[in-house]
Structure 1
Amino acid sequence: MGRLPAAVQGPSSGLRSMKDTEASWPLTVVTLSEPFDLVANLSEAQDPRIRLVRPEEVEDPGAVTCALAWRPAADAFDPYPNLKMVSSIAAGVDSIISCPSLPAGVTVTRVRDDEQARMMAGFAAWHVAYHHRRMGDYLANQKTRSWDRVYRPRMASTVPVGILGFGLMGQQTARVLTAMGYRVLAASRSGGTGMDGVEIFSGPEAITDVAARSEILVNLLPLTEQTQDVLNAGLFARMPEGAVLVQLGRGEHLVESDLLAALDSGHLAAASLDVFRQEPLPADSPFWDHPKIVLTPHKASDTTRDEILRQLADNYAALIQGRIPAGAVDRSAGY
């Protein structure tokens, strides 16, 4: 069995420093999160291989080899010199990878859940159809008891829909949208594998190229240094007049003032927003009352608590056996 790639190796002592190739269950996992009590949040989850503890409940920090994290404090990892793996509770790992106390050699894993991807795809498809079929106008007409058919529907095949990010979520969303008849374009960092009915763009201009060709643009990008603030005035200017943004990635992707300007000028027709720079969204945010915005509270997709623990245990078992965990991320790429 070869060594793990550098991007997913454990501490510099390497896998050979582990005396056993089988985990000792139950594994004590410290939970590290500033906004949430993960022990309480996951109290109903069941996996006999995992025992979750809060930092104050750890008797011997040197014995801790695994952590479960979400938005950890800057110094969260400092007390644990022998960490081998840190697992996110979700698909995103940006707050973990950017944490200054995360040791360089620790393997970071995330949740990769096909059911969650299908949930995301359904949510994205709903918003695409909502804007394509102008459902907001019909909802407004219902309030005034107006029997106005608004417009003659366009066939889905004439509506180009762009997807930014072509990982598990993006690919499943593309499958659903192509099945609905939409013309789908996708921006992929690596180019990836082809998919029937999807035009894939890769390279440094892929995001701009897709945005410029899309009447509805769905953002599913991971958050990295390269993608932060990517949804900005420059990108909006390249989008067709009357285009729509469906923002399902990370709040830090969007320059919020630029979106408001694009909507108020009429260049963008509408936006659906599920993620925000500050969550919960402040009560005084202009997004709440904006007539061109559909807003949801970061609920596009989710995974079960049992699945979080199952994948954590499976990933840890793979790691100590010298295999690449299924959920391992490339820390240099950010996902």
Structure 2
Amino acid sequence: MRGVITTSGGVDLWPHYSEIFAKDAPELTVMRREDITDPAQVDFVFTFIPPADVFEGMSGLKAIFSAGAGTDAIMACPSRPESVPVYRVEDADQALQMAGFAAFHVLWHHRDMGRYVAQQAKGKWSRTVTGLSPSYRRVGVLGFGHMGRAIAKGLMGLGYAVAGYSRRAPDPAEPGVQHFHGDGLDDFLAQTDILINVLPLTSTTRGMIDAGFLQKLPQGAALVQIGRGGQVVEDELMAVLDSGHLSGASLDVFETEPLPQEHPLWAHPKVLITPHVASIPERRFVVQSIRERLSSL
């Protein structure tokens, strides 16, 4: 089968993946878009933020693969054939990365680690001696797909009570998780002390996490945003943090990336910023996932 590896959002995927395809999937011929003389012979495209015209003339296209967990840029591409399926990379390693990242930030907020970092700078020794048990924090996972399920399992292993919210009831349900779906969102938020967002970006979730949404969380709750940029209304988040209703926020994705240096989130004392690193797909696992999917088409 013949595939195209594209430049995505200014990042050329070719040097990162061409050798891996040649080594681990030699039956797949991959080329740059500009080297394709007959687009009708292309069977699949591997991309993340595709050029607007990348799919033109690909009448024989069988599949489109995302280089990351998100597909919103691919779905919005004007030349994308609507009948061609789009596949996310869903491998066990990436889910483990996400689960570990989420666990770190749950502990960061629960155990008030930001305070200890600030104390270290002052040479101050002051301990919290109560409320350290995981039983003191209820964690809610917003979005209960491949990543959400892995996060829930990891946190339950640490002893946290975990709830999950999804549009529809998960099938199968995850043992030990309190599941909410459909019109149960407000009830889910009301009993969530640390909210982890892993929802995809859609017309429904864009701007979803605004002041009204965040104020439905209990007083002193924290947000861990590892979903997609554009879901959090950033100025409203800062206002809710400043009001004291939220105790803190961990933010890994943003409306504009890289986050502009002048953005006030950088200096906010209740915000921990990371540069979109909750999970970085291992190239060999990505290629393996594509190979397995294509073999079933």
Q: Give the AA of the match of 2:178.
A: E
Q: TM-score, normalised by structure 2?
A: 0.94
Larger relative contact order (C-alpha < 8 A, sep ≥ 6)? 1
Q: CA deviation at 1:151?
A: 5.0
Listed as ranges, the matches of 1:194-209 within 5 Å are: 194-203=173-182, 205-209=183-187
Match of 1:42 in 2: 17
- Percent identity over the alignment? 43
Other-structure match for 2:41: 63
Mapping for residues 14-29 of structure 1, pairs under 5 Å: 24=1, 27-29=2-4
Query: Which range is displaced more, 66-75 or 159-168?
Result: 66-75
Q: Distance in 2 between matches of 1:166 and 1:187?
A: 6
Distance in 2 separating the partners of 1:252 and 1:207:
19
How do 1:171-320 and structure 2 match up within 5 A?
Answer: 171-192=149-170, 193-203=172-182, 205-319=183-297
Number of the residue aligned with 2:81: 103
The Cα of 1:251 is off from its aligned counterpart by: 0.7
Q: 1:129 Cα deviation (Å)?
A: 0.7
Q: CA deviation at 1:208?
A: 2.9
Matched with 1:78 is: 56
Secondary structure (helix, strand or coil) at the match of 2:295 reads helix
Equivalent-residue separation in structure 2 for 1:138 and 1:157 (angstroms): 21
Uncovered stretches (5+) of structure 1, i.e. residues with no partner:
1-23, 320-335
Instruction: In structure 2, list runs of 5 or more residues that go unmatched.
Output: none
Q: Conserved in 1, the CA contact under 8 Å of 2:166 and 2:180?
A: yes
Tell me, yes or no, if structure 1 residue 119 matches structure 2 residue 94: no
Question: For residues 44 and 279 of structure 1, do their structure 2 counterparts lie closer, same or farther at Cα, with a shift above 3 Å needed?
Answer: farther
Please give the secondary structure, in 1, of the residue aligned with 2:115: helix
Query: Matched residue pairs, number?
Result: 293
> After TM superposition, what 4+ stretches of structure 1 lie above 6 angstroms from structure 2?
none
Instruction: Give the structure-1-normalised TM-score.
Output: 0.83
Say which SS state the counterpart of residue 78 (structure 1) adopts: coil
What are the superposed Cα offsets for residues 259-293 of structure 1, whole Å, 9 maximum, x if unpaired?
11111111111000001111111111111111100
CA contact (8 A) 1:30 1:64 kept: no
CA RMSD of aligned residues (A): 1.6
Q: Which of 247-256 and 303-312 deviates more?
A: 303-312
Letter of the aligned partner of 2:209 in structure 1? L
Secondary structure at the aligned position of 1:253 is classed as coil
Quote the residue 1:157 is aligned against.
135
Tell me the equivalent position of 2:6. Answer: 31
- In the TM superposition, residue 242 of structure 1 has moved relative to its aligned partner by 1.1
Query: How far, CA to CA, are the matches of 1:92 and 1:182 in structure 2?
Result: 27
